[in-house]
């Protein structure tokens, strides 16, 4: 048994499929004049999102960073935004990214993200482009209706669970979970609705999304805007979107927040939450904030899980089936 | 008892929930695009056999359950309890009706059974997959019928009733699959 762990887990035909999809993606962006870029995996700063854990390492060697902690990026977002602010125009990257603690049937702590930014696009225009690319990549590989489904986050909860996610209190969210047969995890917060919404989304809604067609969810609650700009609707929403296919989350995108002050405020709030949760406080990316200060062009960006795309294209049921060497063989 | 983080969850791990011991049947890590990650587990109650779903926030912990499977030899039933012996240590353990449950009708003295212990006390007893038993009573079947089709009830020495082919007679010894309760074959003594 153990002696077989030197072998790749993915079949050679799956590895050829990976290569074909990568080539098709590059052709798609070349045809549109989107520039391929590469940015560092290691950074002296890290994302403070309390739900993301960064691998860290210590640099030893010449230069002022000697002895300093460096973090493996969880996405190339910050560096790519610095390129955008420097006038790169539309860019894409196929990057290996790293997330501590994420392992399972659809997670590997090291995975491949396709991330791209379109200058002058809002999240609706970018969603249309994502749909075009994914439909093009998957059409001949699995049963897929070209017609795309769109749903606001709020409408999604109203449709599947008959609740308003931006108004429901904790008691109502808990009752909704119980009514749908979801056991309430111990230690759920009593003052923060977002983990409850995440519970309902992952358990009751996500498995039903995007059956045989692309489903985009957009306009998230302001508290879940992440790096998206807010639109002052009533209540305000984050101009963020997610793409689902066959119950699997494939991509997350933003109409990008360009306001340096607001970005710093969000980072600091996330670090405060980290402190409350006894998680390490992350060094803020001052170079990203300086880039935003100097001016990020109006743009939308998206990160798409390439391995999950391959998994769908290959008709596989787990991420490890499309990785040459998943974590346990790495 | 040890505490287990959700990172250590895997099928077969025994944990305590609401005061009862459970075994993890399935463990799935789920996480929305951004936000709280969860471990969604299917667990089987080792006392009742019922399987339920539970969800933990990823990174949280659960108390381990002191549950082990051991092979014990069945000795006898005193009318209320079933007595077993560990063949290595000669230690004797008693199991109650709730633990023995459906296995009772398949237990013949000296049978080696898999017994699940919780804090050292038998929680459940699994009869051997196959048992050899003598038929104490069955209607005389039609002579010459060897097809086995249809069949008839036969009472075994432990009181268990199984369907046997018509040609099988009282006093004969048969092999039974205890998992299905079905007759397998006659056994020549």
What's the domain count of chain A?
1
- Closest Cβ opposite residue A201 in set B28, B32, B58: B32
Residue A198 to residue B36, Cβ atoms within 8 A: yes
Asked if A292 contacts A81 with a C-beta cutoff of 8 angstroms, the reply is: yes
State how far the Cα of A185 lies from the Cα of A274, in Å rounded to an integer.
20
**B22 — contact with chain A (CB < 8 Å)?**
no
The reply to whether domains B67-126 and B130-186 share a CATH topology is: yes
Angle separating helix axes A123-138 and A12-31, nearest 10 degrees: 140
Say what the pTM is. Answer: 0.87
Answer yes or no: is A209 within a domain: no
Answer yes or no: is A268 within a domain: yes
Q: Does domain B3-63 have CATH number 1.10.3720.10?
A: no
State how far the Cα of A153 lies from the Cα of B35, in Å rounded to an integer.
14
Instruction: List per-residue pLDDT tens for chain A, 330 residues long.
Output: 557 899 999 999 999 999 999 999 999 999 999 999 999 999 999 999 999 999 999 999 999 999 999 999 999 999 999 999 999 999 999 999 999 999 999 999 999 999 999 999 999 999 999 999 999 999 999 999 999 999 999 999 999 999 999 999 999 999 999 999 999 999 999 999 999 999 999 999 999 999 999 999 999 999 999 999 999 988 999 999 999 999 999 999 999 999 999 999 999 999 999 999 999 999 999 999 999 999 999 999 999 999 999 999 999 999 999 999 999 999
* Residue B145 neighbours by CB under 8 Å, 6+ apart: B165, B166, B167
Residue B182 confidence class, pLDDT cut points 50, 70, 90: very high
What separation in angstroms does the CA of A278 have from each of A251, A262, A281? 29, 24, 9
Structure tokens at A187: 């230690």
Strand partners, B5: B61
Answer yes or no: is A284 within a domain: yes
Asked if A285 contacts A85 with a C-beta cutoff of 8 angstroms, the reply is: no
**B32 — contact with chain A (CB < 8 Å)?**
yes
State how far the Cα of A156 lies from the Cα of A151, in Å rounded to an integer.
6
Mean per-residue pLDDT of chain B: 92
State how far the Cα of A142 lies from the Cα of A230, in Å rounded to an integer.
36
Answer yes or no: is A314 within a domain: yes
Residue-range domain boundaries for chain B: 3-63, 67-126, 130-186
pLDDT of A36-72, one tens digit each? 999 999 999 999 999 999 999 999 999 999 999 999 9
Chain A residues lying within 8 Å of B38, measured CB to CB: 185, 198-199, 202-203
| pLDDT at position B45 | 95
**B55 — contact with chain A (CB < 8 Å)?**
yes
| pLDDT at position B151 | 87
| pLDDT at position B25 | 97
**CATH number for the B130-186 domain, one of 1.10.10.410, 2.40.50.140, 3.40.50.720, 2.60.120.10?**
2.40.50.140
Chain B residues lying within 8 Å of A198, measured CB to CB: 32, 35-36, 38
- Closest chain B C-alpha to A160 CA, distance in angstroms: 16
Preceding omega of A235 cis (within 30 degrees of 0): yes
- Closest Cβ opposite residue B54 in set A49, A183, A195: A183
| pLDDT at position A100 | 96
Instruction: Say which CATH topology domain B67-126 has.
Output: OB fold (Dihydrolipoamide Acetyltransferase, E2P) (2.40.50)
Asked if B51 contacts B76 with a C-beta cutoff of 8 angstroms, the reply is: no
Asked if A216 contacts A151 with a C-beta cutoff of 8 angstroms, the reply is: yes
Answer yes or no: is A120 within a domain: yes
For chains A and B, CB pairs below 8 A equal 76
pLDDT of B94-115, one tens digit each? 999 999 988 999 999 999 999 9
* CATH number, domain containing residue A27: 3.30.930.10
- Closest chain A C-alpha to B33 CA, distance in angstroms: 6
Domain that holds residue A277: 2-142+261-329
């Amino acid at each position: 048994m153990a002696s077989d762990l030197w072998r790749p887990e993915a079949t050679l035909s799956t590895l050829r499929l990976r290569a074909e999809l990568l080539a098709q993606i590059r052709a798609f962006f070349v045809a549109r004049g989107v520039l391929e870029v590469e940015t560092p995996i290691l950074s002296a700063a890290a994302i403070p999102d309390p739900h993301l854990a960064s691998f860290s390492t210590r640099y030893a060697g010449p230069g002022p960073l000697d002895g300093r902690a460096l973090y493996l990026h969880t996405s190339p977002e910050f560096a790519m935004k610095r390129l955008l602010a420097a006038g790169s125009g539309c860019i894409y990257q196929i990057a290996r990214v790293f997330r501590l603690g994420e392992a399972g049937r659809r997670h590997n702590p090291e995975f491949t993200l396709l991330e791209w930014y379109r200058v002058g696009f809002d999240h609706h225009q970018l969603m249309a482009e994502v749909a075009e690319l994914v439909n093009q990549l998957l059409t001949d590989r699995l049963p897929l209706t070209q017609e795309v489904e769109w749903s606001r986050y709020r409408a999604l909860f109203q449709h599947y669970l008959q609740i308003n996610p931006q108004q429901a209190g904790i008691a109502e969210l808990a009752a909704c979970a119980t009514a749908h047969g979801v056991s309430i995890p111990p230690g759920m917060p009593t003052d923060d609705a977002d983990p409850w919404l995440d519970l309902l989304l992952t358990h009751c809604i996500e498995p039903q999304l995007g059956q045989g067609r692309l489903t985009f969810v957009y306009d998230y609650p302001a508290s879940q805007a992440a790096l998206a700009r807010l639109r002052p609707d009533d209540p305000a929403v984050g101009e963020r979107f997610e793409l689902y296919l066959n119950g699997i989350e494939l991509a997350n995108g933003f109409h990008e927040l360009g306001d340096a002050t607001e970005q710093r405020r969000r980072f600091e709030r996330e670090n405060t939450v980290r402190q409350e949760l006894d998680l390490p406080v992350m060094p803020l990316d001052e170079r990203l904030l300086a880039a935003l200060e100097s001016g990020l062009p109006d743009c939308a960006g998206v990160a798409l899980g390439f391995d999950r795309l391959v998994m769908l294209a290959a008709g596989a049921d787990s991420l490890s089936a499309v990785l040459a060497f998943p974590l346990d063989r790495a | 008892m040890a505490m287990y983080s959700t990172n250590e969850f895997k099928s077969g791990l025994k944990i305590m929930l609401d005061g009862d011991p459970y075994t993890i049947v399935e463990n799935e890590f789920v996480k929305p695009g951004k936000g709280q990650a969860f471990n969604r587990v299917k667990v089987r109650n080792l006392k009742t056999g019922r399987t339920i779903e539970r969800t933990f926030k990823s990174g949280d912990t659960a108390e381990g359950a002191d549950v082990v499977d051991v092979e014990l030899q069945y000795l006898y039933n005193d009318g209320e309890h079933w007595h077993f012996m560990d063949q290595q240590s000669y230690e004797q353990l008693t199991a109650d009706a709730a633990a023995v449950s459906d296995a009772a009708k398949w237990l013949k003295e000296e049978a080696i059974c898999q017994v699940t212990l919780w804090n050292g006390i038998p929680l459940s007893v699994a009869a051997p997959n196959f048992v050899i038993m003598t038929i104490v009573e069955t209607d005389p079947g039609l002579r010459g019928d060897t097809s086995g089709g249809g069949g008839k009830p036969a009472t075994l020495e432990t009181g268990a009733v199984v369907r046997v082919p018509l040609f099988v007679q009282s006093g004969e010894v048969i092999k039974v699959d205890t998992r299905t309760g079905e007759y397998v074959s006659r056994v020549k003594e």
